[in-house]
A = this chain, B = another copy of it.
Amino acid sequence: MNELRKDPLLNRWVIIATDRAGRPHDWPRGSSGSSKSDPRNCPFCPGNEKHAPGPILEWKGGSHEMPDSPWSLRVVPNKFPALRVEVELKRKGVGMFDLVTGVGAHEVVVETPEHGVGFGELDLDQAALVFKAYRERIGDLMRDSRLEYVLAFKNEGFGAGASLSHPHSQIIGIPVLPLRVEEELAGARTYFNTKRRCIFCDMLDTETMMRDRLVYQNDGFTVFCPYASASPFETWVLPRTHQHDFTTVTDADLSRLADAVQTVIRRWHKALGRVDFNFLLHTSPNHALFDRLCPGVQEHFHWHIEMFPRITSTAGFEWGTGFFINTTAPEEAARVLRETVA
């Protein structure tokens, strides 16, 4: 059975998910996100619904509807989950160590019936539908008060950690805050307590004023390469107005968000050659637990999407030290992305 184990030194939780070891892989090793594996064996293709557990959510219509598909987007439980909802939450000691049973949720957003397209190639409406599914599922999972955090993220391509090539994202609800999120919340709180301003709002002001790290703006979102980018072409997408909670995003903004994220992906592909990538949504923790986990989060946190193309393989050293060496200045990355037409 899967479990969460606490690193006794680093105050960091790790999921030991041996259930996931048997999951299928169809990415040819080393291929990029455009690889087309055989749709007949794909558990996410229309007609193969029986290979995935029954849907949590299924939407019809939408611009990617295919004549032979009864749905245009669906969310299914992960068949090889890192965490399971039906597990009882228990905290135990194991000698000097600590564990929590592997309770949580692990869902897959099947983004389109169409096999083997990249997120950048989806129609704008379909990409917006993906973010709408995030909003719906995150909001629903937050009703489970055992879950401290719900994380939505996408791995595209073998090099980004994806195991299947059919376009999909993942949503994980977890009974502990991820360390990076906790550190981000703590950093934002410290800044707010000193200045009485949201650090993300200050970054937006700084980046739109300085312009050298600015990539793109639309009516709802600002896109820039952060000052201390840990990897080449790291790019962040932030709502232009202060919003701590992604589940309150409007339909109009979902479409603007899709535009911003797809613009980044298309420009990466154009400027760098087709790249594998990750993006992840950092929103505030479970509403019901604000008072315990992060008092004042409404004022000091600002939801955003962090995006990373996987163009270097230096993560091992960095991973073991938390110390990053980035060979591309964010000002240079932003200049390239500003000047790329895609």
Indicate with 1 or 0, residue by residue over A229-263, a CB within 8 angstroms of chain B CB atoms: 11000000000000000000000000000000000
Which bucket holds chain A's interface residue count?
A: 35 or more
Q: Are B11 and A183 in contact (CB under 8 A)?
A: yes
Q: Are B18 and A316 in contact (CB under 8 A)?
A: no
Q: Are A15 and B324 in contact (CB under 8 A)?
A: yes
CB of A41 within 8 A of chain B?
no
CB of A13 within 8 A of chain B?
yes
- A133 to B210 CA separation, bound complex (whole angstroms): 45
> Which of A6, A8, A183, A228 gathers the greatest number of chain B CB atoms within 10 Å?
A228
Least CB distance, A192 to chain B, in whole angstroms: 11
Question: What residues of chain B lie closer than 8 Å to A332, measured between beta carbons?
Answer: 18
- A179 to B12 CA separation, bound complex (whole angstroms): 13
Q: Are A314 and B14 in contact (CB under 8 A)?
A: no
- A10 to B227 CA separation, bound complex (whole angstroms): 12
Stretch of A43-51, A135-143, A153-161, A286-294 that contacts chain B: A153-161
Q: Find A199's partner among B8, B95, B179, B181 (CB 8 Å cutoff).
A: B8
Question: What residues of chain B lie closer than 8 Å to A230, measured between beta carbons?
Answer: 7, 12, 14, 319
CB of A5 within 8 A of chain B?
yes
Question: What residues of chain B lie closer than 8 Å to A228, measured between beta carbons?
Answer: 5-8, 12-14, 97
Contact (A316, B155) CB under 8 Å given A30-B29, A96-B206: yes
CB within 8 Å of B: which A54-80 residues = none
Contact (A174, B14) CB under 8 Å given A8-B203, A97-B228, A228-B7: no
Question: What residues of chain B lie closer than 8 Å to A155, measured between beta carbons?
Answer: 314, 316-317
- A29 to B18 CA separation, bound complex (whole angstroms): 30
- A160 to B96 CA separation, bound complex (whole angstroms): 32
Indicate with 1 or 0, residue by residue over A171-182, a CB within 8 angstroms of chain B CB atoms: 000100011110
Q: Are B160 and A316 in contact (CB under 8 A)?
A: yes
What residues make up the interface of A, taking CB atoms closer than 8 Å to B? 5-18, 20-21, 29-30, 82, 94-97, 151, 153, 155, 158-161, 174, 178-181, 183-184, 187-188, 191, 199, 202-203, 206, 210, 226-230, 277-278, 280, 306, 308, 310, 312-330, 332
